Amino acid sequence: MTGTENLSGPFADGLRKLPELEAGDTFSLDAYEASLEAVRERLHERGYAYATVSGRVDVRPDLHTVHVRLDVQAGRACGGQDG
């Protein structure tokens, strides 16, 4: 996950734990989409009204692997809240 560097430690750590994807698991599009939504919802709950979360999935059939990346753009917190 990228883009969480400017958020407070405990909050950023919590975001990193949200994705339902674990290394070694079989890839699931449903879990991937749920992960994007879970991170987005948590940011919005903490006042990051304009936060965006996007992702990228790189499939390597020759290696039987999938690499997933989540990109967070939190922006500024609204209403005086900090991450």
For residue 24, is it within any domain? yes
For residue 46, is it within any domain? yes
For residues 18 and 16, give the distance between their C-alpha atoms in angstroms, rounded to a whole number.
6
For residues 58 and 65, give the distance between their C-alpha atoms in angstroms, rounded to a whole number.
8
Q: How confident is the model at residue 22 (pLDDT cuts 50, 70, 90)?
A: confident
User: Region 61-70: what's the mean pLDDT?
Assistant: 92
All residues at 6 or more sequence positions from 39 whose CB lies less than 8 Å from its CB, including other chains? 1, 15, 18, 19, 53, 70, 72
Q: How confident is the model at residue 72 (pLDDT cuts 50, 70, 90)?
A: very high
Q: How confident is the model at residue 25 (pLDDT cuts 50, 70, 90)?
A: confident
Domain housing 20: 9-73
For residue 22, is it within any domain? yes
What CATH number is given to the structural domain containing 34?
A: 3.10.20.310
